[in-house]
Amino acid sequence: MESIKWGDFEKVWLCAGTVLRVEEFPQARKPAWKLWVDFGPHGIRKTSAQIRSLYAEDELVGRQIVGVINFPPKQIGPFISEFLLTGFPTPEGVVICTLERAVPDGTRMA
């Protein structure tokens, strides 16, 4: 593992956002959802996430998640992803990073 400087970490915008909408993504190579997330002052952003093995649509809407919002947009098939949903891989699927208590949407991780 390579060490990074504090300035490197400061470049990554890890922010809280609330999932507003979830849709199926049948064109994805692996089972995935399309998510629209409200990041407050940073706007509503969308992403594709391979989290269907652990999360149903109704479990995601209204939930606060952690996303990296300063990556450039990425084309995923016919869909443009505008942020990276964070999570931890397990044998059962990716466990998403969520908040234990609510914070204002757009709050940056410290």
Token pair for 35: 């998510």
78: amino acid identity, one letter: P
What's this model's pTM, rounded to 2 decimal places?
0.94
Domains belonging to the chain, first-starting first, are 11-96 (2.40.50.140)
pLDDT, one tens digit per residue, over 71-109 is 999 999 999 999 999 999 999 999 999 999 999 999 999
pLDDT, one tens digit per residue, over 4-20 is 999 999 999 999 999 99
pLDDT, one tens digit per residue, over 28-87 is 989 999 999 999 999 999 999 999 999 999 999 999 999 999 999 999 999 999 999 999
Distances in whole angstroms, Cα of residue 38 to Cα of each of 28, 67, 77, 89: 23, 11, 23, 24
